[in-house]
Amino acid sequence: MRCPLPEDRDEFDEAWARIVEDLTGSDSGTPAPAPPEPEATAGAAGPDPGLAALFEPLRRREPAPDAFVDNWEDEGHFVPPEPPEIPVGTPITRLAWAGALGGPTVLVLTALTGWDAPGVVTLGAGIATLAGFATLVWHMPDSHGDGWDDGARL
């Protein structure tokens, strides 16, 4: 259902002025003055006051002071503990990681660069990958605790 448009230009302007008054919250009770004719505003500088009034509720304002934020420095804040050091690992584990990651890296680089690698390089990269992966799996722990852990750690 469409709202009927007023037939008269004055009725239309008055209806529009009521809408703007409702949006801006002004209760002057008097109808807003009719907008100036287009030829009068052609040389005027600055924004249209009607548009400024329309968008006034959308402007940013300073937030109200908040007691919680003002007292933030007075509260003791959380200081996290120092993180544990990264484990260095054994030389065998480091070599296993180097083989497991270095072998595929060599194969990908030879494929991307178009280098026709000798068979020894390709075979060595494949063996390093398989040996590194097998060593990492071999050195994995057999169990993760006593078996009664539900996963929650506090």
Q: Quickly count helices (H) and strands (E) in the chain.
A: 6, 0
What does the pLDDT read at residue 101?
A: 96
* Residues 103 and 52 reside in one and the same domain: no
CB under 8 Å to 94, separation ≥6 — which residues?
none
Tokens 């004719």 locate to: 37
Q: How many domains does the chain have?
A: 2
pLDDT of 92: 94
- For residues 102 and 53, membership in a common domain is answered with no
- Do 53 and 102 fall within a single domain? no
Dihedral (CA of 99, 102, 104, 106) sign: negative
Percentage above 70 pLDDT, the chain: 61
* Pair (53, 103) in one structural domain: no
127 is a domain residue: yes
Which residue segment(s) compose the domain that 121 sits in? 91-138
Mean pLDDT of the chain: 78
* Least confident interval from 5-9, 42-46, 104-108, 128-132: 42-46
Query: What CA dihedral angle connects 40, 42, 45 and 46, to 10 degrees?
Result: 90
- 128 in any annotated domain: yes
Q: What's the pLDDT score for residue 111? A: 93
Query: What pLDDT was estimated at residue 109?
Result: 94
Within-domain flag for 7: yes
Read off the pLDDT of residues 40-84 as tens digits, 9 standing for 90 and up.
545 455 667 777 777 777 776 666 666 666 666 655 667 889 998
Selected residue with higher pLDDT from 128 and 26: 128
Predicted TM-score (pTM) above 0.75: no
pLDDT given for residue 55 in this prediction: 77
What is the pLDDT at residue 30? 59
Residues 6 and 53 reside in one and the same domain? yes
**9-33, pLDDT tens digit by residue?**
888 888 888 888 888 875 555 555 6
Residue with tokens 């003055």: 33
Joined tokens for residue 66: 């908040």
- Whether residue 86 lies inside any domain: the answer is no
